[in-house]
Structure 1
Amino acid sequence: MAEPADVLLTGVHATSALGRGAEAQLTGVLAGVPAFRPVGRFHTGPRRVNAAATLPDAGPLADELTEAVTAACRSAGLTALHRAEAALLLAVHGGRSVPALGAELAAATGFPAVRTYTTACVSGTNAVADAAVLLRRGEVNRAVVAAGYLVEPDQYALFDVGRALATDAAVRPFSAGRTGLLLGDGVAAVVLERADTARQPIAGLLGWGRAGDAFHPCQPEPKGRGLARAITAALARAGRDPVEIGYVNANATGSGPGDAAETAALRTALGPLAERVPVSSTKALHGHALEASGLLELVVTVLALRRGRLPANAGWLGPDPDCPLDVIRDVPRPAVTGYALTLNAAFGGASTALLLGVT
């Protein structure tokens, strides 16, 4: 019999174009209305695509991160003393300003130091996995992971020039006729605690897995072998069987090769069950928040499990023979079990899988 979770989530907060606060994310993904609109934050005249999921009143990233960490700590009941003894891990886009941003966030929220992650779209989930390791080793009793990305012109231009953005202004994960991804604002923070100190658990972080296949700087390995290893490692670390998984919040960005590779990974890791486990990608609603995507999707997944309703996969046009999965379409579906995987993949073949559970 599997052991109870020894790493627990006790506080969450998130902001995206769906709204401010964790409950706004849950309400938004269950409503199933994509948040994409023409970009007004900067000029997109030279670009092929003019659409993203942006929050109109978003402030500077430092302020948004401070708000997220403060709110998550408040929801977990962390005092100033708790924060002074806890670890703070931050996932953001790399650059010269990262050390200053991290120091500013730590000082503003009462943490002694910060560890930063700039590993592209697995930054947030890498930070969560490392926080869990710190907790299991007994190095700290509590850890806060924060992540943030606000759509800005440089990354927008890179994705547009690379022809990665959806030309029809819609993200259609696993669907026939999908044309690519769209970027979105995302700022999130979660509090993780050891089970012997947690007072108000929300969910358990049961297992995690990481892998890298180094297949190509940008293109996914077609058979998804790296992601499959990450999924298998998460299940093994948790002592769970694939039959227990009741939902997968997929990485699926709406790209042709990426969604097909993720499907192959699920079929490898879960076997025949892969065609029967409900799957959706909430990027079709809140967009791809790059370094913050994994943490935003973790929050959404936990809240959906607790509500017992699994978000539908927006943008669906029809089945793709390369993606034979049980994609949740049209309306949310009742959760059958309290266990879910949330998956993420990044440039260079990096992949992560987190296994979450609620009771």
Structure 2
Amino acid sequence: MNAYITGSSLVCNIGDNKQDIISNLKNISPETYKENLQEILKDKTFYKIYDYDYSNEKRFQKILEKVVLDAVKEAKLSKEEQEDLHIFLGSTSMEMGTNEQFKDEFDNGSSNLEFKNIGNGAIGQYVEKLINSKHKATLFSTACTSSVNALAYASKMIEKKKIKRAIVIGFELFNKSTFGGFSSLMLLSQSKIYRPFDKNSDGIILGEGCSAVVLEGEKKEENNFKYISSSNICDNYSETTSDPSGTPIFEAMNSALKNAKLQVKDLDCIKAHATGSENNNSSEAKALAQLFNSYEEEKTQVTALKPILGHTLGACGTNEIVLMLEAIKNSFLPATFGFEEAIDDLAFTPILEHKSCENKQTILLNYVAFGGNNSSIILSNKD
């Protein structure tokens, strides 16, 4: 049995539905990118989801509800199929922003409740109730690979006929703790321009994003993408930086190809993790060079999506998958905005402008996380 993506949804800084997101993305060009960023980052150097002006708790619930119900609707699930959805959640901060609000209200005397919840089980319970699922939710928190690991795990369970269908949700909303943590590590961009693989890159710009993917054992539409393979490789070089050689990142991508019995030439595009930090720029670039060299100089196109979405941490797996697949269904590969001057010895030039493509593609999506958790996943809607 195979695992197919039959429904998906995304809420991010450029829209809260896929139609608007793709329309807005098409209107961004290398020339308008910096001007567009000034508007996005006008309040804070952070890619914010707009138009959800509620308390932190209500905002969290409203955005989560939006992506879940939109994905279920697109998958055209019956009431019985919806209730049979196994729930997989991937996030770095979980409900941290909501708990910060509760703590602030406790400290200023407006509430006698110091924390909303201890632990994160309430998030799963919220989704269980929302779709009336008869299954308990499973939470993944492996830093920036959280939601892609959740999707790979759910896909494998469907392949092995352990479950029939699943919904995988990635979510990351602003909280002071995460923002302050990255700031203290001096990883945040001061120039307010996201520049993957660029010599003038000065760091990461964080962002909010929430997405959902419905997986089922049977294809429903001709262009449904199928899970092909994945790989998860741990890098024990450092808690917060990748091995400078790039070898563990290469091993994740190469293992995904070998698991799929594919070669680089079989890929139409690689979506790089591309955080824009000095370490990730260098280590992932070396990993891609190793990948191309190991397949006798075979190459494929490379793009990066964080200049569009911001770095959405644990949610970037499903967020970037939904955006990438939707762009392909609209017959283009997204550009890597912000790239102008390559870092030393870069073995490729990323896609610089939106590039027309067939709406049938095989892609590898790469993710690199704190703690050395590296994941690659291959998806395809080719016959």
Residue number in structure 1 paired with 2:237: 215
Q: By how many angstroms is 1:214 displaced?
A: 1.4
- Which of 166, 181, 184 aligns to 2:207? It is 184
- Cα distance in 2 for residues equivalent to 1:293 and 1:275: 27
1:355 maps to 2:375? no
| TM value normalised by structure 1 | 0.90
Residue number in structure 2 paired with 1:10: 6
- Cα distance in 1 for residues equivalent to 2:279 and 2:345: 9
Q: By how many angstroms is 1:317 displaced?
A: 2.6
- Cα distance in 2 for residues equivalent to 1:211 and 1:315: 29
1:226 and 1:350 in contact (8 A); partners too: no
Q: Percent identity?
A: 22
Residue number in structure 2 paired with 1:45: none
1:301 and 1:340 in contact (8 A); partners too: no
- Cα distance in 2 for residues equivalent to 1:340 and 1:292: 19
Q: Could you list the per-position Cα deviations for residues 39-65 of structure 1 after superposition, in whole angstroms to 9, with x for gaps in the alignment?
A: 64xxxxxxxxx4111022235222211
- Cα distance in 2 for residues equivalent to 1:338 and 1:228: 22
1:207 and 1:235 in contact (8 A); partners too: yes
- Which of 156, 164, 183 aligns to 1:133? It is 156
Moved more, 10-19 or 89-98: 89-98
The residue identity in structure 2 corresponding to 1:52 is: F
2:164 and 2:216 in contact (8 A); partners too: yes
- Cα distance in 2 for residues equivalent to 1:110 and 1:57: 27
Residue number in structure 2 paired with 1:53: 47
Residue number in structure 2 paired with 1:204: 226
Please, which runs of 5 or more residues in structure 2 have no aligned partner? 97-117
1:67-86 superposed matches below 5 A? 67-86=66-85
Q: By how many angstroms is 1:287 displaced?
A: 0.2
Q: Could you list the per-position Cα deviations for residues 126-167 of structure 1 after superposition, in whole angstroms to 9, with x for gaps in the alignment?
A: 000100111011011111100111122211111112111111
Residue 354 of structure 1 aligns to a residue whose secondary structure is: strand
Q: By how many angstroms is 1:213 displaced?
A: 1.1
Please, which runs of 5 or more residues in structure 1 have no aligned partner? 41-49
- Cα distance in 2 for residues equivalent to 1:289 and 1:39: 18
Pair member with larger Rg = 2
User: CA distance change for structure 1 residues 100 and 262 in 2, over 3 Å: closer, same or farther?
Assistant: same
Residue number in structure 1 paired with 2:246: 224
2:303 and 2:335 in contact (8 A); partners too: yes
Residue 80 of structure 2 aligns to a residue whose secondary structure is: helix
Q: By how many angstroms is 1:86 displaced?
A: 2.3
- Which of 270, 274, 283 aligns to 1:248? It is 270
- Cα distance in 2 for residues equivalent to 1:235 and 1:38: 38
1:33-182 superposed matches below 5 A? 33=33, 34-35=36-37, 37-38=40-41, 40=43, 50-58=44-52, 60-92=59-91, 93-94=93-94, 96-112=118-134, 113-182=136-205
Q: Could you list the per-position Cα deviations for residues 253-311 of structure 1 after superposition, in whole angstroms to 9, with x for gaps in the alignment?
A: 11111011111112223326778422121101110111111110001111122222111
1:319 maps to 2:318? no
The residue identity in structure 1 corresponding to 2:86 is: A
- Cα distance in 1 for residues equivalent to 2:15 and 2:316: 15
The residue identity in structure 2 corresponding to 1:19 is: G
Residue 189 of structure 2 aligns to a residue whose secondary structure is: coil
1:287-306 superposed matches below 5 A? 287-306=310-329
Q: By how many angstroms is 1:207 displaced?
A: 1.3
Aligned length, in residue pairs: 343
The RMSD of aligned alpha carbons is 2.0
- Cα distance in 1 for residues equivalent to 2:284 and 2:27: 25
Residue number in structure 1 paired with 2:105: none
2:292 and 2:299 in contact (8 A); partners too: no
- Cα distance in 2 for residues equivalent to 1:83 and 1:35: 38
Residue 51 of structure 2 aligns to a residue whose secondary structure is: coil
1:302 and 1:356 in contact (8 A); partners too: no
2:235 and 2:372 in contact (8 A); partners too: yes
Q: Could you list the per-position Cα deviations for residues 316-354 of structure 1 after superposition, in whole angstroms to 9, with x for gaps in the alignment?
A: 23122242212111x212237711111111101111111
- Which of 15, 19, 22 aligns to 1:19? It is 15
Residue number in structure 1 paired with 2:108: none
Q: By how many angstroms is 1:246 displaced?
A: 1.3
- Cα distance in 2 for residues equivalent to 1:15 and 1:25: 8
Q: By how many angstroms is 1:242 displaced?
A: 1.1
| TM value normalised by structure 2 | 0.84
